[in-house]
Chain A
């Protein structure tokens, strides 16, 4: 059964800092990995989608990498801003099992002005 872990559970940084969020998964047989952002009480906003054949994806200040063989992904946020404060979730679409997406518990990011 696929399991997704995100470390750390919470992170507090000063504005302007570059930071890395980590995601690991137990079964490397995945179709893709997706990073989401969730603001308090809100739905999920898709940030980046990495197919299993890709190594990274970039969007603005965000860069996500995928190492399928080691079961790891990182989300790099450059020059963090207070508006980046949110919970960041990673989710994998696995080749086995019935669940469409398996989510980690998320990393709660706080960027202090």
Chain B
């Protein structure tokens, strides 16, 4: 059974550019959440999608956005990149968006902004 797949694994971008990250959840999982991990702030929730609808959003600026497709694959986009956006971006999938179900995480995308 394939796990959560995130692409690309590594990215280097220049300040001011935009970037798109992709996440394919476990087959049958319909909830996809995104997290940002930095050494200073730890893991912080970005947003969650279920059935192509954003269900929850964390405390991040509007430069961070996402979407989910009908096959449950999700993308997140960061526009006008800043140096502080350098982080490990992790995607997690769950069977449903209801509490009580555990989350399975992907290996992450390491974004470096120079």
- A positions within 8 Å CB-CB of B: 31-32, 34, 36, 41-46, 49, 51, 89, 91, 93, 95, 98-106
Contact = CB atoms under 8 A, between A and B. Distances in A.
B90 A44 contact: yes
B56 interface: yes
A105 B4 CA distance: 23
Most buried by B among A51, A98, A102: A98
A32 B100 contact: yes
A46 B104 contact: yes
State the main secondary structure of chain B at its contact with A: strand
Interface residues of B, number: 24
Interface of B: 4, 6, 33, 35, 42-43, 45, 48, 56-58, 88, 90, 92, 99-100, 102-108, 110
A100 B48 contact: yes
A13 B78 CA distance: 41
Given A43-B106, A100-B45, 9 more contacts: A31-B100, A43-B90, A43-B105, A46-B102, A46-B104, A46-B105, A89-B43, A91-B43, A100-B56
A41 B58 CA distance: 23
A92 to B, nearest CB: 10
